[in-house]
Amino acid sequence: MSIKLEHLNYVYSQGTAYEKKALKDICLEIPHGEFVGIIGHTGSGKSTLIQHLNGLIKATSGALYYNGENIYEEGYHMRELRNQVGLVFQYPEHQLFEIDVMTDVCFGPKNQGLSPEECKQRALEALQLVGLKEKYYQSSPFELSGGQKRRVAIAGVLAMRPKVLVLDEPTAGLDPKGRDDILDQIAYLHRQSDMTVILVSHSMEDIARYADRIIVMNKGTVMYNDAPKKVFEHYQELEKVGLAAPQVTYIMHDLAKRGMPAKTGVTTVEEAADEIMRVLEKKE
Amino acid sequence: MDMVQTEKLVYEYEKRDEEGNVIGMSRAIDEVDIDVKEGQFIAILGHNGSGKSTLAKHINAILVPTEGTMWVNGRNTSDPEELWNVRQSAGMVFQNPDNQIIGTVVEEDVGFGPENLGVPTDEIWQRVEDSLKAVGMIEYRHHSPNKLSGGQKQRVAIAGVVAMEPKCIVLDEPTAMLDPVGRKEVLKTVKKLREKKQVTVILITHYMEEVVDADKVYVMDHGRVVMEGTPREVFSRVDELKNYRLDVPQVTILAHELKKRGLQIPDGILRKEELVEVLCQLN
């Protein structure tokens, strides 16, 4: 069970004056159950890449294998793929449209052909998973706060019980608590089920905290594809392509430069605190 | 001199049911008193729905108070006669760069504001050039805004406001949609504007790192100002901020954590350089 991209290319407006190569020779493998972070500057190809994962965009050339089957082969069941790979777009709350929260979350399963009872069951489950309080289930989605709306939108995708959950900047514009709540919830879901999670984000701190592996996109190519610690070691190269490392990584590098024998491969606050304590205690 | 001042500012709006009948009032701003001096850099923090954007919209009279008063550059925003003066004093930059750019060429977009103010053509060109230089985008003057990165678009949007020569610029989450370097570009531009043109800046953001240089921070919750002070004062109160759904910069969390583990570290560390300095002395 995995997603595999082989020499995938995508060209926008091919053959016109606006032709633009958005993805160039992408080779990637995402094993089932992994939590993958995708980072890259605006326009690096992240969003184009993830739209390939459930067949919304068809590659200009190359292949995409889902569980070993090439999705571009004739007769491939695209509908089945879309049931299994759930995509949460940027600002997903703009896509809410139903009269109440419950009906909105039921929309996905309804389109999967499930009975009204099953839809409701799935919706209840999904709304509990995203942690929305029951008193809002009958409210109009438009009366909710930004963070709540976003949870409803994510629940709408979860209700389809995807095997792979792809989220494009799910925390943009949310306050710090809303951001942590949503990411903690996603991490919890990931631990509870065997779901693959693919998270696109501009927050290096968030990616460092949650992802097992980071894919760095730059100008339509994969620049790095490695564990967070390894990727953020290249912080100078990342800056050149519009990115950065988490603030604590910079602190560790500065300490090392000032002669403190601290390891620099640190990406979270806890690790930084442990490492600093280790160095200072050793000293005493 | 006061640039922005409010006295018991209240903003209420009507809640309506599906048929459009009024079913009650909702108070988005609740007796807010703020005081911003000319040339200051002020940050407003608060969770989604805390009222910070509603307050910001009062500063250039997109909204006017239900009760209480707001003065911008000494003018009462509730006075319809003063509307244009208020809007010339305070310019706004919003979150989404794509919603703010209307021109098909960068310089045309930047010229739109002053043109609407009735500025003579020669002066418009002068202002366009000056403001594009101020945000570091002059080499893109003949480009189409569509092809710019998010950070560049936001700088063009800022140039468009600067060209109207406001005394005060309000930025409502200008970096929320940008990548890290885009975010840095925008902040650097704002800093430069303050130094070169002595513009008063009011920044609304969810990124705690962006406010460490502010002269003063206001924290809003349920339409009220619940904390105010220098960044150091405000960020020393980590637990209180968490209650308001906010956070502190990562370096401040690390300093807090190290202190809990017994290191001699002062409260309210805001910049990585400060922490590195303290730790090197301990080493």
* Inter-chain touch B209–A247, beta carbons under 8 Å: yes
Give helix A116-129 / helix A146-158 axis angle, nearest 10°: 130
Q: In this predicted model, what pLDDT tens digit does every residue of B227-260 receive, in sequence order?
A: 999 999 999 998 899 999 999 999 999 999 999 9
CA distance B248 to B239: 10
Q: What DSSP designation does B263 have?
A: -
Closest CA to A222 of A30, A20, A18: A30
* Inter-chain touch B181–A251, beta carbons under 8 Å: no
* Inter-chain touch A202–B179, beta carbons under 8 Å: yes
CA distance A242 to A236: 10
- Distance (Å) from the C-alpha of residue A201 to the closest C-alpha of chain B? 9
Does residue B99 form part of some domain? Answer: yes
Residue of A nearest to B15 (CA): A143
Angstrom distances, CA of residue A261 to CA of A277, B84, B277: 12, 60, 15
Task: Tell me the Cα Rg of chain B.
Answer: 20
Residue A283: its pLDDT value, please? 65
Containing structural domain, residue B93: 2-248
> What mean pLDDT value characterizes chain B?
90
User: From first to last of its 284 residues, what are the pLDDT tens digits of chain A?
Assistant: 699 999 999 998 888 887 889 999 999 999 999 999 999 988 889 989 999 999 999 999 999 999 999 999 999 999 899 999 999 988 888 889 899 999 999 999 999 999 999 999 999 999 988 888 899 999 999 888 777 899 999 999 999 999 999 999 998 888 888 888 889 989 998 998 889 999 999 889 899 999 999 999 999 999 999 999 999 999 999 999 989 999 999 999 999 999 999 899 899 999 999 999 999 887 65
Does residue B66 form part of some domain? Answer: yes
Residue whose token pair is 């996109």: A217
Residue of B nearest to A272 (CA): B254
pLDDT at residue B136 above 80? Answer: yes
Number of domains composing chain B: 1
CA distance B55 to B34: 10
* Inter-chain touch B181–A204, beta carbons under 8 Å: no
Nearest beta carbon to residue B181 from set A176, A239, A251? A239
Residue whose token pair is 């294998």: A65
CA distance B120 to B108: 15
Among A18, A41, A279, most B C-beta atoms within 10 A, so best to mutate, is A41
Evaluate whether B23 touches B16 at the Cβ level (below 8 Å): yes
CA distance A33 to A1: 9
Residue of B nearest to A204 (CA): B180
Is the minimum CB–CB distance between A254 and chain B shorter than 8 Å?
Answer: yes
Q: How many CB pairs under 8 A join A and B?
A: 117
Is the minimum CB–CB distance between A173 and chain B shorter than 8 Å?
Answer: yes
CB-CB neighbors (< 8 A) of B279 in chain A: 255, 260, 276, 280
Does residue B271 form part of some domain? Answer: no
The one-letter code for the residue type at A135 is: K
Residue of A nearest to B51 (CA): A145
Does residue B65 form part of some domain? Answer: yes
Q: In this predicted model, what pLDDT tens digit does every residue of B78-92 receive, in sequence order?
A: 999 999 899 989 999
Scanning chain A, the segments in alpha helix (DSSP H) are 46-53, 78-84, 101-111, 116-129, 146-158, 176-192, 204-210, 228-233, 235-240, 247-257, 269-283
Strand partners, B37: B2
* Inter-chain touch B208–A176, beta carbons under 8 Å: yes
Chain B from 30 to 89: CB within 8 A of any A CB: 46-50
CA distance B198 to B169: 11
Does residue B82 form part of some domain? Answer: yes
* CA quadruple B71, B74, B79, B81: dihedral sign: negative
Q: Provide CB contacts within 8 A for A211, sequence distance 6+.
A: A35, A36, A37, A199, A228
Does residue B101 form part of some domain? Answer: yes
Strand partners, B229: B217
- Distance (Å) from the C-alpha of residue B279 to the closest C-alpha of chain A? 8
Does residue B275 form part of some domain? Answer: no
Nearest beta carbon to residue A175 from set B48, B254, B263? B48
Closest CA to B54 of B46, B157, A141, B161: B46
Does residue B280 form part of some domain? Answer: no
CA distance A36 to A185: 16
Is the minimum CB–CB distance between A176 and chain B shorter than 8 Å?
Answer: yes
Is the minimum CB–CB distance between B251 and chain A shorter than 8 Å?
Answer: yes
Q: What is the CATH number of the domain that holds B122?
A: 3.40.50.300
CA distance B185 to B136: 9
CA distance A141 to A98: 7
Average pLDDT over residues B27-31: 93
